[in-house]
Amino acid sequence: MGMTITEKILARSAEKKTVKPGENIWLNVDVLMTHDICGPPTIAIWKNEFGENAKIWDKSKLVIFPDHYIFTANKHANRNVDILRQFAKDYQIENYYDVGTDRYKGVCHIALAEEGYNVPGTVLFGTDSHTCTSGAFGMFATGVGNTDAAFILGTGKIWEKVPESIKFIFNGKLPEYLTAKDLMLQILGDITTDGATYRAMEFDGETVFALSMEERMTLTNMAIESGGMNGIIAADEVTIDYVKQRTDKSFQIFNSDVDAEYHSKYEYDVETIEPLIAKPHSPDNRDTVQNVSGTNLTKCYIGSCTGGKITDFRFAAKFLFGEEVKVPTFIVPASTETANQLETETISGISLKEIFEKSGCEIAQSSCAACLGGPDDTIGRAVDKDVVISTTNRNFPGRMGSKKSEVYLASPLTVAASAIKGVITDPRDFL
Amino acid sequence: MKKIIYGKAFVLGNNIDTDQIIPAEHLVYSLTDEDEAKKYGHFALSGVPVSQSGLPKGSIPFIDDDEYKSIFNIIIGGTNFGCGSSREHAPFALQKAGVQAIIAESYARIFYRNSVDGGFLVPYESTEKLIDKIKTGDLLEIDLENNSLKNITENLLYNLKPLGDVLPIIQEGGLFKYARKTGMII
Ligand code: SF4
């Protein structure tokens, strides 16, 4: 019997020939990532459990990005960054990307890719549920809590239950009014927020392999929104290209066997999918943009590890070029590299940054910002009864700030079109 | 591990996400400083919409305004309990508020792992939908040896799914204690 790509990578990491879904195995971790929210409690548990002379299993495999609560006056939030800074100093952590320095990178999941930590065939754990994003690189990546992370920090090992896999196959050429975000909303509406709990979500098909790495990351990023343990896309030439530009590490490429067993399979013809939106208050509350078009908005938000990558801004700039936004619109580049690209990439000689500024958008510094609400002074935070359309990944009650607010999740094309009209707008109106 | 968990039920719906369990704005507090950590108990479940808080009627505060502990120590939930972020602050907050066990139809993976590996509370899966059978305030008794739940108020008995592979970790009180016991770490 064949194995899926997820099973093969887990088997390698567990030093086994084969593994089967449902089996509990101990994995050797290739990279552990943490950030300012979960890093400090992880460090505290690690010190408490391993004692003051605690040793990090392998410093070169630990990566720390302050990214969540960064540009705030909140003293507790700043204390978290201070703890990370001190820890990095005390233990000489090379892969620490401090805020306020030119090493600062922005949102961890995008920075992991850009800094060459995403390597095909490897196993990456992070103290963040969207760690599944890295699966776009043909690797196993998933989120854990502080205790698990502290255990990895001291031992380099962690237990995991081998997941069953679900395969999602997308066929056809992606129409210009759709993005990877629409594909993910399609899946979410079909399988709901727990349809993939404890399972691997494997993306396949010509549409997927025609996507850029950034767009592929939008698919794997939102695997957790269906409860998925990991999202995964086998590495191809596009992946190899991206990775080789960023690291010298050697790697091994795994592919699912043709006779591998799946829990279930879903197949889509992308040409029949319409622009989609998730209505309040759940990412699986899917509808067509058409059905809710005309809904009044008070805020638009383009940012986060899901919708704040350079590809997302390219989509948005296409519509915002020469237009003006009708409601406050926030542009939050996920990473500092993305922020730089906004300045260097142009449309008809005008930089993306200028296009956004001219259309009246507010451009923020790279960080998680209002994707998860954050302290009161967070830019773009939903207040009171805000009605927001956002390229982020979650719209649970209060996720972007106020419990009274309503958040719609959509593609950067849909958000940009809606920003121009001030009401929810189908991107096809701009094509 | 305790053999019996006894106390009052607090009933919630489906898809109780980690932002409802502990809203993100509170994640800045220390989990180790006792005074600050208390706040996690105070804010536990404060993100649950009022109409959904304490079913079937809703509008029941999980914790009174000036309190750090709840009078409810067993949560009854629907499907996909603990979905959303990886924050271990979520089971931590519930434990701080005094919760000893959750009985839900299903769990999101990270919340489930965190509850077990951190040794915060016992996450049981029910064998049937309980959120419309048990009322907030009902007196319950969980028998951890026989995997059963008794609703003392209604005098009804329900089976729970055995804890399975994670039982040894729960019995030891978390991943580190388990790893020490089995000699994985010293
Ligand atoms: S951008 Fe949003 S989803 Fe992504 S890591 Fe930050 S808070 Fe989480």
pLDDT score for B186 = 81
Which residues, listed in sequence order, are joined to residue A331 by a DSSP beta bridge?
A302, A363
To probe the interface with B, which of A80, A148, A164, A282 has the most B CB atoms within 10 Å?
A: A148
Chain B nearest CA to A37, separation (Å)? 7
Residue B35 CB coordination number (10 Å): 8
The protein residue with its alpha carbon nearest to ligand 1, atom 6, reads A368
Interface pTM, i.e. ipTM: 0.95
pLDDT of residue B75: 98
Cα distances (Å, whole numbers) of residue A197 to A262, A361, B85? 14, 38, 14
pTM of the predicted protein model: 0.97
List the domain range (segments joined by +) for residue B76: 4-181
Distance from chain centroid for Cα B126: 13
User: Does residue A293 sit in the same domain as residue A160?
Assistant: no
DSSP code, position A121: T
The predicted pLDDT at position B12 comes to 98
Q: Please name which of A110, A105, A114, A103 lies closest in space to residue A126, comparing C-alpha atoms.
A: A110
Residue pair A336/A360 in contact (Cβ under 8 Å)? The answer is no
> DSSP states of A217-283 as a string?
HHHHHGGGGGTBSEEE----HHHHHHHHTT-----------TTB--SEEEEEEGGGPPPEEE-TT-T
Inspect the interface and report whether the beta carbons of B85 and A372 lie closer than 8 Å.
Answer: yes
Reading the block at residue A286, the tokens are 């899917």
Q: Which residues of A touch B39 (CB under 8 A)?
A: none
Q: Are residues A206 and A306 part of one domain?
A: no
Residue B32 forms part of a structural domain: yes
Round to whole Å and give the CA distance between A370 and A304: 9
Structural domain harbouring A419: 277-430
Same domain, A125 and A58: yes
Question: How many structural domains is chain B composed of?
Answer: 1
Q: How far is B48 from chain A (nearest CA, A)?
A: 8
Q: What is the pLDDT of residue A116?
A: 98
For residue B171, tell me if it sits in a domain: yes
Contacts of B151 (CB under 8 A, 6+ apart): B9, B133, B134, B138, B139, B140, B157, B158
Map residue A350 onto helix, strand or coil.
Answer: strand
B61: which residues sit within 8 A by CB, 6+ positions away? B53, B54
Considering only CB atoms, which chain A residues are within 8 Å of B49?
Answer: 397, 403
Distance from the Cα of A176 to chain B's closest Cα (Å) equals 31
A272, part of any domain: no
How far from chain centre, in Å, is Cα A288? Answer: 23
Chain centre to alpha carbon of residue A393: 8
pLDDT tens track for B16-58? 999 999 999 899 999 999 999 999 999 999 999 999 999 999 9
Residue A5 is predicted with a pLDDT of 98
- Element containing residue A410 per DSSP (H, E): strand A406-410
A416: phi then psi, degrees, rounded to nearest 5: -65, -45
Q: What is the pLDDT of residue A1?
A: 85
Which among A235, A267, A299 is the end of a domain?
A: A267
pLDDT at A52: 83
Are B85 and B19 in contact by the 8 Å Cβ rule? The answer is yes
Contacts of A319 (CB under 8 A, 6+ apart): A413, A416, A417, A420, A427, A430
Give the CATH number, domain containing residue A338.
Answer: 3.30.499.10
Last residue of a domain, one of A267, A295, A330: A267
Same domain, A64 and A192: yes
Kindly report the length of chain B.
Answer: 186
Residue B70: per-residue pLDDT:
98
Contact B109 A229 (CB under 8 A): yes
Contacts of B107 in chain A (CB under 8 A): 197
Comparing CB atoms, the residue among A38, A48, A77 nearest residue B28 is: A77
Q: Whose CA is nearest to atom 4 of ligand 1?
A: A305
- Residue B129 domain-assigned (yes or no): yes
Measured distance CA(A424)–CA(B55) in Å, rounded: 34
CB-based contact B113 A145, cutoff 8 Å:
yes
CB contact under 8 A, B109 and A198: yes
Which residue stretches of chain B have pLDDT < 70? none
Which chain B residue lies closest to A222 (C-alpha atoms)?
Answer: B84
* B165/A161 Cβ within 8 A: yes
Instruction: Report the candidate in B95, B100, B124, B126 with the shortest Cα–Cα distance to residue B21.
Output: B95
- Which CATH number fits the domain that encloses residue B155? 3.20.19.10
Distance CA B3, CA A416 (A): 57
Q: Do B28 and A375 touch (CB under 8 A)?
A: yes
Bridge-based pairing state of the strands A276-278 and A329-332: unpaired
Write out chain A residues lying below 8 Å of B113, CB-based: 144-145, 148
Residue percentage of chain B with pLDDT more than 90: 97
Contact call for residues A379 and A330 (beta carbons, < 8 A): yes
A223 and A366, same domain (yes or no): no
Which pLDDT score is estimated for B1? 73
Q: A241 and A313: one domain?
A: no
What 3 state SS string does chain B have? CCCEEEEEEEECCCCCEHHHHCCHHHCCCCCCCHHHHHHHHHHCCCCCCHHHCCCCCCCCCCCCCCCCCCCCCEEEECCCECECCCCCHHHHHHHHCCCCEEEECCECHHHHHHHHHCCCCEEEEECCCCCCCCCCCCEEEEECCCCEEEECCCCEEEEECCCHHHHHHHHHCCHHHHHHHCCCCC
For residue B27, the model assigns a pLDDT of: 93
- A32 and A163 share a domain? yes
Ligand 1 first shell, C-beta below 6 A: A 68, 107, 109, 128, 130, 304-305, 368, 371-372, 392-393
Residues A12 and A146 placed together within one structural domain of the fold? yes
Based on the domain organization, do A281 and A202 belong to the same domain? no
- Within 10 angstroms of residue A346's Cβ, the number of other Cβ atoms is 13
| β-strand partners of B8 | B139
Per-chain mean pLDDT for chain B? 96
Count how many domains chain A has: 2
Q: List the pLDDT tens digit at each of the 431 positions of chain A.
A: 899 999 999 999 999 999 999 999 999 999 999 999 999 999 999 999 999 889 999 999 999 999 999 999 999 999 999 999 999 999 999 999 999 999 999 999 999 999 999 999 999 999 999 999 999 999 999 999 999 999 999 999 999 999 999 999 999 999 999 999 999 999 999 999 999 999 999 999 999 999 999 999 999 999 999 999 999 999 999 999 999 999 999 999 999 999 999 999 999 999 999 999 999 999 999 999 999 999 999 999 999 999 999 999 999 999 999 999 999 999 999 999 999 999 999 999 999 999 999 999 999 999 999 999 999 999 999 999 999 999 999 999 999 999 999 999 999 999 999 999 999 999 999 99
Based on the fold, state whether residues A226 and A313 are members of the same structural domain. no
Is residue A147 one of the residues assigned to a domain?
yes
Report if residue B186 sits inside a domain: no
Using the 8-state DSSP alphabet, how is residue A40 labeled?
Answer: H
Task: Report how many Cβ contacts below 8 Å link chain A to chain B.
Answer: 130
pLDDT at position A336 is 98
